[in-house]
Structure formats: structure tokens, C-alpha cells
């Protein structure tokens, strides 16, 4: 059966890098049916809604979605879309790529970020003229589901080391958020224990100090939602920026893939955006849909072009998005 892929370009360079990623997918065997969806600032300006119901429904009913970026409406778009695919984990690899100037080239980590709760559960109240509150939510069920995924991930050798023995690290702030992050940590540790997977732990502040000092000591990192947001962005800074990093929002029977970068308004519309992050997101999509070998071909193509192919301006070159994309397709 042909898998149905919703494609949402969004705003800014999303309109350049998503077509590039689709071109790469098109050049491969898997026979996908692409359906276009709209979302983002331009959609809001045109329709009054950053994320129209039609788009939400399309995404919810698809096999997978490839999303670009949204401008100031980013949170209004991406948070509901994560819900539309029923995503419980945000997978964020951060690895230094060949030919890219990285502060810590030895960085090779994957964050598995809880994707439904924490401060993102979003219960906020304005209780008085002076006081607002937010209810941070942690459940054992979501923590355990994430932990089961992390154990599968590690056992399948999908961690950077490829070695199940490496286990994972849980990053949290249970010394202050004793009940909520305590629950998270305890449940994740309990699942790891049941599954016989090695899990050590680190306070998230200590982790933020140690990652730049010695990234080589980490592989798979399991964290609550906001911790995963911030710590994975920190790792991005160590490998040269957000520009090259893909991510996956994995659900039970659906998933959404997106570059970690934003809309890059400074270069949008000029056809010079680096398509790497979107193309690597497409590689994650391929792997998710079972086309593991095709995903690997895409990764090899991207790394080959980064090593000795045309480069966009962010990497010191002067190639266009189209030239880089064509070079990747050539190597498939």
C-alpha cells in the first residue's frame, strides 16, 4: 500500500527546504503519495488560522508528515501537530557532520524528549493582578511509555554507539521538582531495570555544564519535555548550530518529521537555504516507514555532499538549495 505523506512547507525557508526533501524522496524507490497541507504565519494571514482544521485532520489521518518551519505562529502550529500524530517522543539527534565547523566535533548524541506533558501540558492561570501559575504535569504512564521507547531504541542499536550495553542517561531536576521529576526519574529507571537496560542519571543543570566539557561521555539522553527542548538545542550549538539537525515526533501509528531550524527570515526567498536538516528529516521518515536502506542512502548522500560537494552560504559556500539538492540526488 502506498503511504500517504502530508507535506507542510510552512513559512520562510520551509518553502525551499521541504521541496528539496520531497525531491530526494521522489528520487527513491518508495512510492509515496504526497498531499499538501498549509500552516504557519502566511496561512494565518490568509485564513485567520495558523493551523486550519483541514491540515490538522490531514496530518492525523496520514501515515507520516514532513513539516518545514513556521514563523511567529510556530508554537500554534507545531504543538497541535505533535498532538495530531499522537506523538509521545521527540527524537533529536545531534551529531557533528563532515566538513562542518563544530565546537565539539566528537558530539554524537540522541535526545529522546517526552513530547506530551511537563510545562507543555499548558494549564496556565492568571490568578490575580500580580500572580500567574502554570501546572506542570508528569504521569507515570507517559514516563513509562517514553522509557519503553528508549529501551527499544537502545536495544535495537539505534543509539550513537550502536551498542545496547551503553544504555541511556536520564536528565532531570528531581532534586527540586521532587514529586514530578522524581516520578519521571523513578518510572524511567524502573522500566530500564525491568528491561535490563543500563540507565544512569544526571541533574539537568550538571548535564548542561558537562555536555560542552565532554560530550563524548553521552549517547542517548532521556528527558522531560522542556529539558529536552533546551538540552538538545545546547547540543546543536556544539555541532555547529540548528541548521543541519533533523527531528522526529513519533506517535503510535503516525509521525511528523521536521528540521530543528526555524524560518530564517534573513535568507528566505533567495533559494540559498541549506536543505540538509530537511533532507535528514526525510531520512528519518524513510526509516520510520521501514525503508531503512533508503534512509541510509539519503544519509550517505548528504554526508558525501557535505564532505566534497557544493555548499550553501551557511557553510561558507555559494551553492543554491537546488544545486545542493541535485548533488544529493546524484549520489543516491
Which residues of the shown chain bind a second copy in the complex (CB under 8 A)? 74-75, 79, 103-104, 119-120, 122, 124-126, 129-141, 173, 175-180, 182-183, 204-206, 208-213, 226, 229-231, 233-234, 236-238, 240-242
Task: Match 541549506 to its residue by C-alpha cell.
Answer: 274
The residue (of 159 and 259) whose beta carbon lies closer to ligand IPM is 259
- The answer to whether 26 is a known catalytic residue is no
Pairing of strands 108-114, 220-223: parallel
Among residues 156, 205, 308, 330, the one annotated as catalytic is: 205
CB of 200 to a second copy, least distance (A): 16
Strands 199-203 and 220-223: unpaired
Is 205 labeled as catalytic in the residue annotation? yes
Beta strands 108-114 and 87-95, pairing class: antiparallel
Residues 98 and 92: beta-carbon distance below 8 Å? no
**Minimum distance from residue 206 beta carbon to a second copy (Å):** 7
Q: Minimal distance in Å, beta carbon 90 to ligand IPM?
A: 7
- Annotated catalytic residue 233: yes
Helix (H, G, I), strand (E, B), or coil: what is residue 175?
coil
Annotated active-site residue in 120, 149, 218, 288: 120
Q: Are 9 and 68 in contact, with CB atoms under 8 Å apart? A: yes
Within 13 Å of residue 331, how many CA atoms lie on the same side as its CB?
Answer: 21
What is the spatial distance between Cα 270 and Cα 292, in angstroms, rounded to a whole number?
A: 33
Q: Which one of ligand IPM, a second copy, none interacts with residue 190, CB within 5 to 8 A by kind?
A: none
**What 3-state class would DSSP assign to 284?**
helix
Nearer Cβ to ligand IPM (35/119): 119
Q: Is 120 annotated in the active site?
A: yes
- CB-based burial of residue 278 (10 Å sphere; 0-12 exposed, 13-18 middle, 19+ buried)? buried
Binding residues for ligand IPM, rule: CB under 6 A, are 74-75, 78-79, 175-176, 205, 229
Q: Which does 78 bind (CB under 5 to 8 A by kind): ligand IPM, a second copy, none?
A: ligand IPM
Q: Which active-site residues does the annotation give? A: 120, 173, 205, 229, 233
Amino acid at each position: 500500500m502506498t503511504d500517504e505523506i502530508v507535506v507542510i512547507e510552512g513559512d520562510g525557508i520551509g518553502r525551499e527546504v521541504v521541496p528539496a526533501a520531497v525531491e530526494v524522496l521522489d528520487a527513491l524507490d518508495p512510492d509515496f503519495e504526497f498531499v499538501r497541507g498549509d500552516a504557519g504565519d502566511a496561512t494565518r494571514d490568509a485564513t485567520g488560522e495558523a493551523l486550519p482544521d483541514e491540515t490538522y485532520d490531514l496530518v492525523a489521518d496520514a501515515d507520516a508528515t514532513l513539516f518545514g518551519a513556521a514563523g511567529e505562529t510556530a508554537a500554534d502550529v507545531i504543538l497541535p501537530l505533535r498532538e495530531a500524530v499522537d506523538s509521545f517522543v521527540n527524537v533529536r539527534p545531534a551529531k557533528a557532520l563532515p566538513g562542518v565547523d563544530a565546537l565539539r566535533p566528537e558530539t554524537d548524541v540522541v535526545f529522546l524528549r517526552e513530547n506530551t506533558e511537563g510545562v507543555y501540558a499548558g494549564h496556565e492561570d492568571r490568578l490575580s493582578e500580580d500572580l500567574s501559575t502554570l501546572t506542570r504535569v508528569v504521569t507515570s504512564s507517559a514516563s513509562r511509555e517514553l522509557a519503553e521507547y528508549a529501551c527499544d531504541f537502545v536495544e535495537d542499536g539505534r543509539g550513537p554507539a550502536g551498542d545496547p550495553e551503553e544504555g541511556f542517561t536520564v536528565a532531570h531536576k528531581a532534586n527540586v521538582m521532587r514529586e514530578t521529576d522524581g516520578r519521571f526519574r523513578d518510572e524511567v529507571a524502573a522500566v530500564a531495570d525491568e528491561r535490563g537496560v543500563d540507565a544512569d542519571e544526571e541533574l539537568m543543570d550538571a548535564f548542561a555544564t558537562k555536555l560542552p566539557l565532554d560530550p563524548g561521555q553521552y549517547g542517548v539522553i532521556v528527558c522531560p519535555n522542556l529539558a529536552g527542548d533546551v538540552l538538545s538545542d545546547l547540543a546543536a550549538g556544539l555541532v555547529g548550530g540548528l541548521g543541519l539537525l533533523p527531528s522526529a515526533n513519533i506517535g503510535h501509528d503516525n509521525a511528523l518529521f521536521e528540521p530543528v531550524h526555524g524560518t530564517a527570515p534573513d535568507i528566505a526567498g533567495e533559494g540559498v537555504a541549506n536543505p540538509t536538516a530537511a533532507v535528514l528529516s526525510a531520512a528519518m521518515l524513510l526509516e520510520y516507514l521501514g525503508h531503512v536502506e533508503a534512509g541510509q542512502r539519503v544519509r550517505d548522500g548528504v554526508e558525501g555532499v557535505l564532505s566534497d560537494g557544493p555548499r550553501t552560504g551557511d557553510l561558507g559556500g555559494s551553492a543554491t538549495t537546488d544545486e545542493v539538492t541535485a548533488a544529493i540526488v546524484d549520489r543516491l
